[in-house]
Amino acid sequence: MTSVRLPSRRGEFLAGCRDESPLLLGVAPFGMIYGIAALAAGVPAWIAQLASAVVFAGAAQLVIVQMLAAGAGFMPIALTSGLLNLRHVLYSASMAAYVRHLPRRWRLLLAYVLTDEAYAVAVLRYQRRHEAEAGSAPPTDSGATEAAEAPDHRHWYFLGAGFTLWAGWQLSTAAGLLFGATIPAEWELDFAVPLTFIALLTLLLREHAGQAAALVAAVGALVFAALPYKLGLVAAIVLGLLAGAWTVRRLERVR
């Protein structure tokens, strides 16, 4: 007789915090860049910090302050930030099957912390247990039955990952606002932005939806590279999202 012991709520939360922590190495300079850019654009420090707490969208926040510094109007800023965040449609579609059973308050909370880094860590946690359950012993085995009946606390893991990222983003924003003027220009912290997304890409390429999205987006970026105003990049993002969402739906039908 085998006994299956699943992590408790606290165990899942702490595991999420632990697994998300290494990604803070790339997030910290990213947040500092945002804080520095916000001050350079004339955004008051308290508004910049509040935006990190409420909006909590790193790439969009950075683009917004850069466009403000360039004198862009409301509509271009809103359109650009909206397009940047379209990738969360793919994230939401991928996570929906795992969290739809949760109460509304939980789904709203997890939607708030659904960032690139939190998604990359949390979705792998869900997939690992799903694969383990699919390949477990027959239902007559007491261990498999116990695992099936045990409460699922993986949303606490998701929350732990999201909270760790949120806290790191607040601290790095504050560091950029407080010490940005004293950081030497030759440090060139801009490297952190692409480095963060490259690290995430290596995680997300483990699932079929991420592979489809990356492949279609890469081809789209090459095909539409000649479009003006970087519209080719926008087209590639949209095509990648559509490919990923289609792959998610197709896999759900197969299951």
The pLDDT, as a whole number, for residue 113 is 93
The pLDDT, as a whole number, for residue 190 is 55
Verify that 166 and 52 share a domain, yes or no. Answer: yes
The pLDDT, as a whole number, for residue 207 is 67
In the chain, what percentage of residues exceed pLDDT 70? 75
CB 17 within 8 A of CB 157: no
Higher pLDDT pick, 251 / 16: 16
Which candidate, 62, 53, 56, 72, places its Cα nearest to that of 35?
A: 62
Whether 159 shows a pLDDT value over 50: the answer reads yes
Verify that 232 and 112 share a domain, yes or no. Answer: no
Verify that 151 and 55 share a domain, yes or no. Answer: yes
Verify that 79 and 134 share a domain, yes or no. Answer: yes
Verify that 132 and 216 share a domain, yes or no. Answer: no
Amino acid at the residue 101:
H
202 inside domain: no
Verify that 105 and 211 share a domain, yes or no. Answer: no
Instruction: For residues 219 and 216, give the distance between their C-alpha atoms in angstroms, rounded to a whole number.
Output: 5
Instruction: For residues 193 and 189, give the distance between their C-alpha atoms in angstroms, rounded to a whole number.
Output: 8
Verify that 165 and 220 share a domain, yes or no. Answer: no
Query: What average pLDDT score do residues 33-52 get?
Result: 88
Verify that 92 and 212 share a domain, yes or no. Answer: no
Query: What average pLDDT score do residues 84-98 get?
Result: 81
Cα distances (Å, whole numbers) of residue 98 to 4, 110, 122, 143, 153: 21, 11, 10, 22, 11
Range of the domain at 105: 9-188
Verify that 158 and 98 share a domain, yes or no. Answer: yes
The pLDDT, as a whole number, for residue 197 is 55
Which candidate, 86, 75, 54, 197, places its Cα nearest to that of 64?
A: 75
Instruction: For residues 221 and 180, give the distance between their C-alpha atoms in angstroms, rounded to a whole number.
Output: 34
Verify that 147 and 220 share a domain, yes or no. Answer: no
Amino acid at the residue 197:
F
218 inside domain: yes
Verify that 218 and 152 share a domain, yes or no. Answer: no
Cα distances (Å, whole numbers) of residue 247 to 73, 98, 183, 208, 222: 36, 16, 44, 7, 22
196 inside domain: no
The pLDDT, as a whole number, for residue 65 is 84
Whether 144 shows a pLDDT value over 80: the answer reads no
The pLDDT, as a whole number, for residue 16 is 94
Query: What average pLDDT score do residues 186-210 get?
Result: 57
Instruction: For residues 65 and 42, give the distance between their C-alpha atoms in angstroms, rounded to a whole number.
Output: 9
Which candidate, 36, 23, 79, places its Cα nearest to that of 187?
A: 36
- Report the number of distinct structural domains present in the chain: 2
pTM of the model: 0.71
Whether 128 shows a pLDDT value over 80: the answer reads no
Cα distances (Å, whole numbers) of residue 107 to 14, 24, 142: 20, 24, 32
Verify that 184 and 73 share a domain, yes or no. Answer: yes
Taking each helix axis as running N to C, give the angle between helix 87-99 and helix 154-179, from 0 to 180 degrees, rounded to the nearest 10: 150
The pLDDT, as a whole number, for residue 117 is 86
The pLDDT, as a whole number, for residue 49 is 94
Mean pLDDT over each residue of the chain, to the nearest integer: 78
CB atoms within 10 A of CB 182: 6
Domain boundary among 135, 154, 188: 188
H-only helix segments in the chain: 9-20, 24-40, 45-54, 58-69, 74-84, 87-99, 104-112, 116-134, 142-149, 154-179, 192-204, 208-223, 231-254
Higher pLDDT pick, 125 / 204: 125
CB 91 within 8 A of CB 114: yes
Domain boundary among 161, 188, 215: 188
43 inside domain: yes
